[in-house]
Amino acid sequence: MNPNPDPTRAQLFLDDTGIEDARFVSRQWHPPIKFPDPVLKAEHPWERWCPVAYGTVLHWRGKFRAWYCGWTRDERPRACYAESVDGITWEKPPLEICEFAGSRRNNIILNPAGERRIIDDLAVIDDPEDESWPLKMLYWEGEKHDPKDKSWGIWLARSKDGIHWDRSPGLVLPHWGDRFNGVSVKVDGRYVVYGRKLGSWVDHGRCVWRTESRDLRRWSGDRLVLHRDAEDPLNMEYYSASVFPYESVTLGGLERMYLSPDWLDTELIWSHDGGRSWKRAGHRPAFLSPSNGPRHWDDTWVNLPTNPPIRHRGRLWFYYSGRSGAHGACYPLNHGGIGLAILRIDGFASLRAGEREGWVLTRPMNWPDAGLHVNVDPRRNTRSHPGYHHTGELRVEVRDSSNRPIPGFTWNDCHAMTRNTEDHPDGCAAVTWKTKSLRRLAGRRIRLAFRMRDAHLYSFRARERTDG
């Protein structure tokens, strides 16, 4: 929960920040479920190794749209475009924009601007306030990380349609490294980049810096925000971090690179101050891991693109980059594609009670003119059949700021919630009491006390136009 919660946005239980007290509950982390095959595969000579989600996937103007890097054995990496109606079946339209091997019938949108240069990373920003150029792209282009060479770093382009790009803004972050992530929307009116500054490896190894800008040209506030600590294995460095606002919190996918053996997974991290300081789970589980088993397409390297998950068909859709090889892997072992993993809405972590009844008490918050909705699964095992023995339940008691139960809103007054809310709008359902509506408490400072058995509680929120 957020330390100063806005209950109209989902309050997640990633940490104990907004919890006053709890008994007989434990936090459980939930990775998304992977779709078995990549949804974007290598099909053409200009992406012979694999399409790489060092890029962005958005649902923009009625379609899923992907901007990604095409890697190949014989040619330089470049920026490519694909689109989809359903998010599963993708098309790579012949755009007739950039030349490859004497032809323009390809889906390349940007070629490197020199014979020995590469485009190795990109981030598309949805900027609807700018009607002339509603999409911006930050991309890394250069030849090598030579401090004397001023022509490499992060460049800026802009577009009206996501396909044709104006590169005239030019180089905006010189000498920033080739693995960066630009947040795909503005944060508090600013554009934000997470990446590597020149020379930052000396003291910390690979690590993550943050910088911000109001106009994408002048950047300031550079600060080191993520670097390995004593809880990390000695062979681990932080390759990068993709960051996105989500409801009441800022979430991130921290790319953890293990140097021996060379592979990479992604850890969920979160921030309550817009991505300036970060929190991590105590035992630091992976959110997205390379697939187990012999020689799978994503068994070595997995990372998230720059965008937040896309809400589609009542779930969170995470596109991700997967590879079967890492640094120095010879052709064709560095094979891979762009995959899809799916999570219930707000399903990153839950507070779980078992057979013994547990309860959770929030800190006081100002309640709006709205009802209470919760995201709950009253099953002991969340992977069991949807109709199999809903043995659990959840009830909510409303208390005043002094922690006294408010008449009409006690646990005994509350109707037990005994059904999984996953398929409800926004993954949550209304809490109701026998005779009173929570909207009667609009403007008051209240606490919520959740009592549950054999249940997982993912989040709660205030929703208007309900009598709950």
Q: What are phi and psi of 393, to 5 degrees?
A: -160, 165
- pTM of the predicted model as reported, rounded to 2 decimal places: 0.96
Query: Topology of 11-30+348-463 in CATH?
Result: Jelly Rolls (2.60.120)
The residue type at 9 = R
Is-same-fold flag (11-30+348-463; 33-343)? no
User: In the prediction, which pLDDT does 418 show?
Assistant: 95
Tokens read off for 78: 């470049």
- Cα–Cα distance, 158 to 109 (Å, whole number): 12
pLDDT at 3: 79
Do the Cβ atoms of 428 and 457 come closer than 8 Å? no
Task: Quote the tokens at residue 261.
Answer: 């053996």
Domain positions in the chain are 11-30+348-463, 33-343
Structure tokens at 173: 């972050």
Residue 352, Cβ density class (10 Å: 0-12 exposed, 13-18 middle, ≥19 buried)? buried
**What's the confidence (pLDDT) of residue 448?**
98
Q: What is the mean pLDDT of the chain?
A: 94
Q: Copy the structure tokens of residue 259.
A: 């140097």
φ, ψ (nearest 5 deg) of residue 413: -80, -20
- Amino acid sitting at position 259: L
What pairing do the DSSP bridges indicate for beta strands 19-23 and 336-344?
Answer: unpaired
The tokens for 31 are: 């990775």
User: Would you give the end-to-end CA distance of the chain in angstroms?
Assistant: 21
Distance from chain centroid for Cα 241: 10
Q: Exposed, middle or buried by CB within 10 Å (0-12, 13-18, 19+), for 345?
A: buried
Residues in the chain predicted with pLDDT less than 70, given as ranges, are 73-74, 200-202, 387-389, 465-468
CATH number of 33-343: 2.115.10.20
| Pairing label, strands 208-213, 219-226 | antiparallel
For the CA atoms of 362, 395, 373, 371, what is the dihedral angle to 10 degrees? Answer: -90
